[in-house]
Amino acid sequence: MRLRISFFLSLLLTTCSLAAEIPEALPLWEKGAPGSEARKDEAEQTEGKNVVNVHNPSITPFIPTKDATGVAVIIAPGGGHSKLCLGHEGYALAEWFQQRGIAAFVLKYRLAREKDSTYTIQDHAMADMRRAIRTVRAGAKEWGINPERIGVMGFSAGGELAAFAAMKNDAGQADAADVIERASSRPDFQALIYPGTSGLFSAEKGMPPLFIACGYGDRPDIAEGMATLYLKYKAAGVKAELHIYSNAGHGFGYKPDTNTAAGRWPERFTEWLTNSGLMK
């Protein structure tokens, strides 16, 4: 594992030096994801800035080259579980974090609602999210990350994965032959950006602190659901911060040229990290 990540780091630094290029993706399982081994070499397909046909889940690391804070964020793009919106909900934001000393990992997870998909959210997409958390934690030293400052962030469908990861996780299997499986899958913090399926989210004492951003004009189960979720966290004694932007709807994501309050939510998120003691 250590040699694998060291090699990957050298490759990553070379790739990052090339302007406007995206770093190489790191597959989460060397021999393919459980249940998808036979399809791991099947090529992903690109539709504009979206990606479909994901059978070999991966993380794309954006590692700071200076002023690293030790904080890491695993980003799960949205797309209704039928595609991955890697533009405004993935790579652009990861670069923004990287420039501010925060390591970012863009997750490509298996799609449960793509046409003819045999995957499910809980059995496959969530396995990918938990494996991503373990992978980043197992490689924390090589990536210059504090293993107790690794969080998850998700947009829309990806927000569901982030929320479920905070709700259900484990400490890892101490005697596992795969060293990655020895690492905990518990995120140290969570950020839900207009996540779906809010009615399935719960809050209990001891869960990771929560940052929420959504739009007033989003559908009720999100705009009102996030207000309800905030109150659940308040009742459970888990610190949470909620931003509902009055002039935003669904899918505002992050765009570098934005000039709106909703578009500047990443600044509020980094302030929250600092105020919460997660980042200096």
- pTM for this predicted structure: 0.92
Report d(CA 121, CA 190) in Å as an integer: 18
Question: Among candidates 67, 151, 149, 78, which has minimal Cα distance to 108?
Answer: 78
Report d(CA 249, CA 240) in Å as an integer: 21
Q: What is the structure's pLDDT at 1?
A: 53
Report d(CA 129, CA 249) in Å as an integer: 26
CATH code of domain 2-275: 3.40.50.1820
User: What is the end-to-end Cα distance of the chain in Å, rounded?
Assistant: 29
Rounded to 5 degrees, φ, ψ at 125 are: -60, -40
Q: What is the structure's pLDDT at 7?
A: 39
Q: What is the structure's pLDDT at 20?
A: 53
Helix (H, G, I), strand (E, B) or coil at 18: coil
Helix (H, G, I), strand (E, B) or coil at 8: helix
Rounded to 5 degrees, φ, ψ at 158 are: -65, -30
Q: What is the structure's pLDDT at 19?
A: 37
Which two structure tokens, joined as six digits, stand for 276? 């919460």
Are 76 and 158 contacting, i.e. CB atoms less than 8 angstroms apart? yes
Report d(CA 219, CA 212) in Å as an integer: 15
- C-alpha torsion 192→197→198→200, nearest 10: -120
Place of tokens 């940052």: 211
Report d(CA 253, CA 255) in Å as an integer: 7
Q: Which amino acid is at 200?
A: L
Q: What is the structure's pLDDT at 258?
A: 86
Report d(CA 111, CA 121) in Å as an integer: 8
pLDDT digit string (tens) for the chain, length 280 residues: 554 544 344 444 433 333 358 999 999 999 999 999 999 999 999 988 899 999 999 999 999 999 999 999 999 999 999 999 999 999 999 999 999 999 999 999 999 999 999 999 999 999 999 999 999 999 999 999 999 999 999 999 999 999 999 999 999 999 999 999 999 999 999 999 999 988 899 999 999 999 999 999 999 999 999 999 999 999 999 999 999 999 999 999 999 988 899 999 999 999 999 999 999 8
Question: Among candidates 5, 26, 206, 273, which has minimal Cα distance to 131?
Answer: 26
Which two structure tokens, joined as six digits, stand for 88? 């405004």
Question: Among candidates 161, 148, 12, 155, which has minimal Cα distance to 72?
Answer: 148
